[in-house]
Amino acid sequence: MSEVTKSVDVDVPVRTAYDQWTQFETFPQFMSGVESITQVDDKRNHWVTNIAGVEREFDTEITEQHPDERIAWKSVDGDARHAGVVTFHRLDEGRTRVTVQLDWEPSGLVEKIGSAVNIDDRQVSRDLERFKEFVEGRGTETGSWRGDVEPGTGDVTRGDGGTTP
């Protein structure tokens, strides 16, 4: 298992950084190798990636989510095994530290070599820098989802106060 932990400080309030991160379908605009993400429901996303010529399709599930604090996920099917968490830390009124921790299982020679020489570390760093440019350049989020996902139960409390299992 490979692990990457990287942070970036963005010059936007924590709510703006968090709200933008909840807009998964915009990830291809700042994440290299991500071709598309389709949000299936409040907790599931379908990813299509092409990293170093390795194409993958897989689904992820949000395992925990708390507005302005954290989003955790894991892959649930497809041909990629990974899990991660992104946290949001208020530095001051208009600045936020975004930290991504990603655990993944490289498969095949290309991925194993890439992990061994820390290409994955550099890619996550570059993607966070592009997120910074993206959200700071806009000055506001493209949308938001303010729901809560409780760990263990998977229950979703939507931003409108409703609950879904």
Question: Rounded to an integer, what distance in angstroms lies between the CA atom of residue 3 and that of residue 95?
Answer: 26
Question: Rounded to an integer, what distance in angstroms lies between the CA atom of residue 156 and that of residue 131?
Answer: 26
Residues 100, 128: contact at Cβ < 8 Å?
yes
Question: Rounded to an integer, what distance in angstroms lies between the CA atom of residue 113 and that of residue 122?
Answer: 14
- What does the pLDDT look like over 8-31, one tens digit per residue? 999 999 999 999 999 999 999 999
Average pLDDT score over the chain = 87
Tokens of 26: 């915009």
pTM: 0.87
Whether residue 133 is predicted with pLDDT greater than 50 in this model: the reply is yes
Q: What residues contact 55, with CB distance under 8 A and at least 6 apart?
A: 48, 49
Per-domain residue ranges for the chain? 2-23+64-142
Among 3.90.1300.10, 3.40.605.10, 3.20.20.80, 3.30.530.20, name the CATH number for the domain at 2-23+64-142: 3.30.530.20
Q: Is 27 helix (H, G, I), strand (E, B) or coil?
A: helix
Rg (alpha carbons) of the chain, rounded to whole number:
15
Question: Rounded to an integer, what distance in angstroms lies between the CA atom of residue 144 and that of residue 65?
Answer: 13
- What does the pLDDT look like over 64-91, one tens digit per residue? 999 999 999 999 986 668 899 999 999 9
Tokens of 60: 């992820």
- What does the pLDDT look like over 89-126, one tens digit per residue? 999 999 999 999 998 776 665 555 555 455 677 888 99
Phi-psi region of 19 (alpha: psi -120 to 50; beta: other; left: phi over 0): alpha
